[in-house]
Chains A and B, each alone.
Chain A
């Protein structure tokens, strides 16, 4: 079946540091890939997405590239802010358009 594996958190960074959150997946075919962000006390919000190999999704300074050869979709940001503190979920869209989520990675950014 489909599965998504994320690096365990929490990830603690200082403001303006470079961020990478690893995400790898197992799926049949070529699923669409997503990153969602969950701020404290809120639901998930779509951050970015990509539908095919070598596509790069980007939003709010975050980027992720769909790497078919390594089955990965790592999230990156060049300079994080305190306001980026949240839980980040990697997800894939499988058969029947169902989303399978990773376990989430908590990011804490200190001023």
Chain B
């Protein structure tokens, strides 16, 4: 049973380009969460999605960032017009149900974005 798959593992973008990060949740999981980890810091919640719906985007910057989880295919985190401050590791996690205690999050290995 494959775990949470994220790609690419490493992504380099120049300032002003777009970054597109993909996440395929574990089989049977319909809840997806995106977190950002800045260097030497903890994880910060960005957005929580279910199939075709954004449930909570309170941690997402209001501009340039968007996320989707279509009916078919992976969840996508899109960052437009990247800036150096966007350089970070972006982690996707999935769960079977919403409750984190009874349905723990399973994390992918992350996408490390570097903006030059």
Contact = CB atoms under 8 A, between A and B. Distances in A.
Contact of B101 (A49, A96, A100, A102): A49
Contact of B43 (A42, A46, A89, A97): A89
B69 interface: no
Given A42-B109, A43-B4, A43-B109, A96 B56 contact: yes
Nearest to B56: A96
Q: Is the interface of A mostly helix, strand, loop or mixed?
A: strand
Q: Which bucket holds chain A's interface residue count?
A: 20 to 34
B45 interface: yes
Interface string A7-48: 000000000000000000000000010101000011111100
A103 B101 contact: no
A43 to B, nearest CB: 3
Interface in A72-103: 89, 93, 96-103
Nearest to A96: B56
A51 interface: yes
A103 B98 CA distance: 24
B16 interface: no
A96 B101 CA distance: 12
Nearest to B59: A98
Interface string B15-26: 000000000000
A100 B43 CA distance: 8
B56 A44 contact: no
Given A43-B4, A45-B107, 16 more contacts: A4-B42, A32-B101, A34-B104, A36-B107, A43-B6, A43-B108, A44-B107, A49-B104, A89-B43, A93-B101, A96-B56, A98-B48, A100-B45, A103-B41, A103-B42, A104-B41
13 contacts: A32-B100, A32-B101, A41-B109, A43-B4, A43-B6, A43-B110, A51-B101, A89-B43, A97-B99, A97-B100, A98-B48, A98-B100, A104-B42
